Chains A and B, each alone.
Chain A
């Protein structure tokens, strides 16, 4: 348990929290990466999934993209991008790799959510003379919201977790504390960094859980994902 005490004292040393490679800076980079990638992924995945779900087409496509996405190691994508011309744009490769990673779960969840809307309700809305656009925004999207939000939550937590990989390729974020620890052969720092990353991921998961619990009944209960 000696390592744990050392990791604790590493964490409680205030010098490790400040400066260009301090914990606060790394946390900020991590948060920035996660938020930017989550926004871009949502902008790409959600419109596509909602339209496909509304039309009732492309289900196999959505599921297949999701499966292929799981088979491709994000680390490999990141390194591949790093060696292409994209690699010259600072955080560019990391953001592209993380977006590619986050799009599949978002797409699948949103598509499934749209398809699970009660078809009787959809037919009733059609019978009332709703146009396609009205049907989409006033009936289907509100009813699909719980599952869509569950997809966003899964994507957010996995992004926090996966953003650590950026550090392996020299990027920023909390993972950097771990890789720096490896380079310094300091197990205490490695464990301290890992504990920080784990805590951050769990806090994000917890925040989403609380937000979903506090949300109005209508958008709760999206546990099918």
Chain B
């Protein structure tokens, strides 16, 4: 009979090295699930938001409904959103992704639209004068100029999604939220703190990564200053 060597798990301490080493796989799996849910949701959100923003920009009648509906969706509480989609998707990862997509839409549509609206009319006319068709105007002029505003929205949407994924724990697909949820029920301090800190680390890392992408995609904004 020998006592366990390092007993911070038994003493239930907040910071515990033994937890990190012994539960490495669990933590890693939770982080992976967290990243997957976030990335898939934000990507789908982006794919849906772009045409919606373009429609709102170019068809005057579409702007009101598009902005109105996405704002209403954003007002619906996250726990309620996941629950309302329950009959459609059942207890699945798709449920959490669908909820997160609906959330990110407001932020993305608003920011992309603001970016598109900020493109100066003279710029557009100049491009038309140079013989640019509507598609080339959009791809080569309008979208690049809308990029900084769109990226700002993307960063907020991503950071919010990382934090909202944790609520997915209610249906068992919450990434690190699962660990927080089960840690709460068992009073497992090290697990709750570690998972919470990892959430924030993921959010901050994602934000910095997007900032870097933005700087690489918009070299012209750097030369001005």
* Best-buried of B83, B160, B187, B189 by chain A (most CB within 10 Å): B83
0 or 1 for each of A70-93: is its CB under 8 Å from B? (1 = yes): 111111110110110000000000
Q: Which residues of B contact A43 (CB under 8 A)?
A: none
Contact of A167 among B79, B180, B199 (CB under 8 A): B79
For B177, the closest partner residue in chain A by CB is A75
User: Interface majority SS on A: helix, strand, loop or mixed?
Assistant: helix
Binds B, one of A14-22, A49-57, A118-126, A157-165: A157-165
Interface pair B192/A79, CB less than 8 Å apart = yes
The answer for the CA separation of A72 and B87 in the assembled complex, in Å, is: 30
Interface pair A4/B87, CB less than 8 Å apart = yes
Q: State which size class the interface on A falls in.
A: 35 or more
B165-206 contacts to A, CB under 8 A, are 166-167, 169-171, 177, 180-181, 183-184, 187, 189, 192-193, 195-196, 199-200, 203-204
0 or 1 for each of B129-158: is its CB under 8 Å from A? (1 = yes): 000000000000000000000000000100
For A181, the closest partner residue in chain B by CB is B83
Q: State which size class the interface on B falls in.
A: 35 or more
Q: Which residues of A contact B181 (CB under 8 A)?
A: 79, 168
B139 → chain A closest CB, angstroms: 30
Interface pair B170/A182, CB less than 8 Å apart = yes
The answer for the CA separation of A10 and B198 in the assembled complex, in Å, is: 40
Q: Quick check: is A150 within 8 A (CB to CB) of the other chain?
A: no
Interface pair B162/A83, CB less than 8 Å apart = no
Contact of B83 among A67, A161, A193 (CB under 8 A): A193
Interface pair B77/A197, CB less than 8 Å apart = yes
Given contacts A83-B187, A205-B75, contact A179 B170 (CB under 8 A): yes
Given contacts A164-B80, A202-B72, contact A190 B180 (CB under 8 A): no
For B195, the closest partner residue in chain A by CB is A76
Contact of A178 among B80, B193, B204 (CB under 8 A): B80
Contact of A73 among B75, B79, B166, B204 (CB under 8 A): B166
Interface pair A195/B166, CB less than 8 Å apart = no
Interface pair A191/B86, CB less than 8 Å apart = yes
Q: Quick check: is B163 within 8 A (CB to CB) of the other chain?
A: yes
B23 → chain A closest CB, angstroms: 17
Q: Quick check: is A201 within 8 A (CB to CB) of the other chain?
A: yes
Q: Quick check: is A175 within 8 A (CB to CB) of the other chain?
A: yes
Q: Quick check: is A194 within 8 A (CB to CB) of the other chain?
A: yes
Interface pair A70/B163, CB less than 8 Å apart = yes
Q: Quick check: is A25 within 8 A (CB to CB) of the other chain?
A: no
B114 → chain A closest CB, angstroms: 11
Interface contact tally, CB-CB below 8 A: 128
Q: Quick check: is B159 within 8 A (CB to CB) of the other chain?
A: yes
Q: Quick check: is A212 within 8 A (CB to CB) of the other chain?
A: no
For A203, the closest partner residue in chain B by CB is B75
Q: Which residues of A contact B104 (CB under 8 A)?
A: none
Given contacts A73-B177, A79-B184, A168-B181, contact A191 B189 (CB under 8 A): no
Q: Quick check: is A48 within 8 A (CB to CB) of the other chain?
A: no
* Best-buried of B169, B170, B183 by chain A (most CB within 10 Å): B170
Contact of B200 among A71, A82, A164 (CB under 8 A): A71
Please report B residues at the A interface, Cβ cutoff 8 Å: 72, 75-81, 83-84, 86-87, 156, 159-160, 162-164, 166-167, 169-171, 177, 180-181, 183-184, 187, 189, 192-193, 195-196, 199-200, 203-204, 207
Given A79-B180, A161-B80, 13 other A-B residues pairs in contact with their CB atoms under 8 A: A70-B159, A83-B184, A161-B75, A161-B78, A165-B79, A168-B169, A169-B184, A175-B79, A178-B80, A193-B83, A201-B80, A202-B76, A205-B75
Q: 10 smallest A-B Cβ distances: which pairs?
A: A161-B77, A71-B203, A194-B83, A76-B196, A194-B80, A73-B163, A3-B87, A197-B80, A164-B79, A198-B76
27 contacts between A and B (CB under 8 A): A3-B87, A67-B159, A70-B159, A70-B163, A71-B162, A71-B163, A71-B200, A73-B164, A73-B180, A75-B166, A76-B192, A79-B183, A80-B196, A83-B192, A162-B78, A164-B80, A167-B79, A168-B79, A168-B169, A168-B181, A179-B170, A187-B86, A191-B83, A191-B87, A194-B79, A197-B79, A201-B80
